[in-house]
Amino acid sequence: MEVARQVKEVVLSIDPKAEVYVFGSTVKGMYTAASDIDILVVSERKDLEYKIKVESYRRIDAPIEIHFTTPREYEQWYKRFIDAIRRV
């Protein structure tokens, strides 16, 4: 979860209103050396997606995959289909 907290710091420095979640194998306790850490950023500011991803990948030396969605998409899709998700 330390990596997820680092991503959250980057995200909030760019978009203080965003929410950050971790999901997938990390939350399920099935993380292996071959896994990446799935991070979900929920924000109204789709225009900041590229900047958030670039800064996160630049600053964090870990295998992360950042997914970006709006609050509406989060409610309609992610909340319904992701079985293991935790807010950072």
Supply the range of the domain harboring residue 46: 2-87
- Token pair 């071959």: residue: 34
pTM of structure: 0.90
- pLDDT band (50, 70, 90) for residue 26: confident
44's tokens: 């109204």
At residue 15, φ and ψ (nearest 5 deg) are -135, 90
Mean pLDDT throughout 12-27? 94
Q: Residues 46-88: pLDDT tens digits?
A: 999 999 999 999 999 999 999 999 999 999 998 888 888 999 9
CA angle 33, 36, 42 (to 5 degrees): 155
At 69, which CATH number? 3.30.460.10
Domains contained in the chain, number: 1
